[in-house]
Structure 1
Amino acid sequence: MSFTYDDVGATRKPGFCPPGFHPLHVRTRIGEGEDVFRRAAEAVMTWEMHRAVGLALDASADRAAPDVDVTLTLAGMIKAPCRVVWTVEEHRRAGWAYGTLPGHPECGEESFVVDRTGDGTVWLTVNAFSRAAKWYSRAAGPATRGLQHAYARRCGAAVRRLCGPLSEF
């Protein structure tokens, strides 16, 4: 299956949003320190974050890697097929992005990146660009974007929770 949009990999470019798409940028403070960073990175790279927000997930691998296919199931019935387009695993930065495949209610790309800043603070940043691909996404209009923002905030809260008492501040 081919991606449903042209700018594959574009979430690597900060602030990029193709014409006709809606941008999303949500940054959540997770905690502080190397242990929190490692735990948060593992939660993001192994799909644990997605499961913790209550999504059913079927992936072709246990860990995010380029070309891994992932299907999320929303509300027990809406299937959202995606493919990982890039990953990063560095000393202070780890994450990945997936792009939409045919059948997804939206069209676009979303990235989930954990980074540890110079002062030791750990952050989860969710960046995306998208537009409606199904009739029900179009019918929901701005509510769809509100749901996407709420989902990104839930991802941050889930990672913070998964990091446990180490992430409290």
Structure 2
Amino acid sequence: MKLTDLAALPLTYSEVGATAGPLPDGYHHVRESAVIGHGRARFEEASDRVMRWGMLRGAGAGVTATTEVAAVGSEVLVRLGPVQVPCRVVYVLDEPDHRGFAYGTLPGHAETGEELFAVRYDPQTQAVHAEVTAFSRHGTWWSRLAGPVTALVQRVVTKRYLTAV
């Protein structure tokens, strides 16, 4: 699959943007966060890394994207070992204390769903939190067959995302 092939593909799920609120029924849900430092400077640094695909790259994934900085409509091919997963950015968070992006799955991805990568600054405590929110379900026969393995991989990769920025 080539990056140039992704623009014509539809998303593989209908609940676009749902990582911004209550997660939809019928999917596996992930809501994880970790404190990654303190202070506004740390938040700005982590925000920049997240928006430049840093959670993915820092977790060991290869990333090829149509844009250097995540933007609505950016297409991305993420490589996890020999597996390529095609996605498209569906929304961007650009608030004073909360920044990140969510991408959704495209045909060719083993799962269907959406994942949000973000950082949040708490002005009260000055803590900076890395956050991952996702909903997904198996999208192929082989991901259903490998269900226990894919669930383990998702847990491990999510923890790596949180420490990557």
TM-score after normalising by structure 2: 0.91
Report deviation, 1:25: 0.9
Count of residues paired in the alignment: 156
Report deviation, 1:144: 1.6
**1:86-141 deviation line (CA, Å, top 9, x unaligned):** 00112111001000000001100000110011210000110000001122211121
Q: Which residue of 2 aligns with 1:8?
A: 16
Report deviation, 1:60: 0.4
Q: Distance in 2 between matches of 1:107 and 1:54?
A: 21
1:139 aligns with 2:145: yes
Q: Which residue of 2 aligns with 1:20?
A: 26
What is the correspondence of 1:12-161 to structure 2 with a 5 Å cutoff? 12-13=20-21, 16-75=22-81, 77-117=82-122, 118-159=124-165
Report deviation, 1:50: 1.3
Q: Distance in 2 between matches of 1:112 and 1:53?
A: 12
Report deviation, 1:143: 2.9
Percent identity reads: 40
TM-score after normalising by structure 1: 0.88
RMSD of Structure 2 on Structure 1 (CA): 1.1
Stretches of structure 1 lacking an aligned partner (at least 5 in a row): 160-169
Report deviation, 1:147: 1.6
Q: Distance in 2 between matches of 1:153 and 1:143?
A: 16
